Structure 1
Amino acid sequence: MVEGQESFLSHLVELRDRLIRILIAVLVVFVPMAFFARELYSLLAAPLLHVLPAGGTMIATDVVGVFLVPMKVALVVSFLVVLPYVLYQIWAFVAPGLYAHEKKFAVPMLIASVLLFFTGMAFAYFAFFPMVFGFMARFAPVGVSWMTDIEKYFSFVLTMFLAFGATFEVPVIVIVLVKMGFVRVEKLREWRPYVIVGAFVIGAIFTPPDVISQFMMAMPMWLLFEAGVFMAGFIAKPALAASGDSAP
């Protein structure tokens, strides 16, 4: 019992140390980033600023918003910069408890997850935002000045980054579910109609209430699901072959 308690406490101490390292890393990157907070926010706001009508600007309704919002952007950018280090710390904490074959499978999935998440954010910034903001600018009634608060804009953009980043994780989720034996590829193919409907429902929940936004989230989600099912088929076949060889 005492050995078990000591082991548990040692894991808590290790977890604390790794969390401290992560916080220090974020802080180290944030300090220089803070000096470029205004430029970082301008870069973040570029998709909207490019489609605003002549004379259109963004506004700040909070007294300290012009300072806090750019600092929040710098903090988010700092976390994204150190994200590989964050994942390394998480991996170093959980890796000792994994088998060799689990480690071999987890590493490429972890790398793929990071790349897909950043790809989802890039898709939102370069494809989703320009199209949606352009549509909103054209749809605004005559005589209406379309301007948004920088705090609300930051919240909207951050939500979309997280939503599209999570959407692009669908292939990894599908492969992991198949690899761990929770579901078979054949069953996933049978679920295709429900996945399509679910993708459009999720798009309607997390995107602005227009068809373009819903379509731009639902279609990648569906296509990525199909890609995940396709790749999972190659993972499932060796497992089936191995089980067939071991059968009497």
Structure 2
Amino acid sequence: CNFLQIMNKVNAYGDVENVVMTCEDWKVRWEKKHTRFHISEVNSSLLKHEHLLLEKANCSVFVPLSGKSVDMKYLADKSHRVVGLEFSEIAIRDFFAEQNIKFTVEKHPSHPFNIYRSSDSAITIYQGDLFQFNSNVAGKFDAVWDRGSFVAINPSQRVSYCDVICEMLNPSSKWLLNTFAYDRSKYPGPPNDTSDEEISELFDTRFDVKLLEVYDSLNPAQISWGLDWFKVRNSLLVKK
């Protein structure tokens, strides 16, 4: 991860941290269990739109910045091959423990990743820096489920992030992208807000972009950030 000299902020847990988050910042959040972004149920957006993302059986699905998302087990239980990418060892081990899944750990022979693999090989999670991940590490994917990843990446890194993901996709691969919109003058993120214009600038040249839905989703946590509106946007990107 890039370690950038920037201003600090007080986060929702009362800790001072960088506005521009680093891998180490996220590692500390997992160590302190400052992970309100984790949800213990399968994400409602995935349930609603999985039929568009996964139109065939046995898809290879990439879940970037996967944390301990229960979505991975949900997808694997539907006979898809799931690959997660996560920097925090705590998050990865918590996932396997909480889902009661036996796993093995090995080092990648030529890239800086530890590989956590379920005993049935249905779920593989690579521990390391997303920006060093590519198709030489884990191959190409049919689909990407992006909840909590794009919005966690620093806005200054979004072009690089899109390059990383795009390189791992085949033509016609699909990317279900979950993003947020709010008044960024009132809250610096993360999660970071994204405008319609930014979505177009980032994706239009390489993907066919379909807006699936936009809905209001203001909750007490977001009100505590000083926000008075918060929207969720789900988009389906199909690689050209």
TM-score range, shorter chain: under 0.3
Given the two structures, how large is their TM-score scaled by the length of structure 1?
A: 0.23
Which structure's CA Rg is the greater one? 1
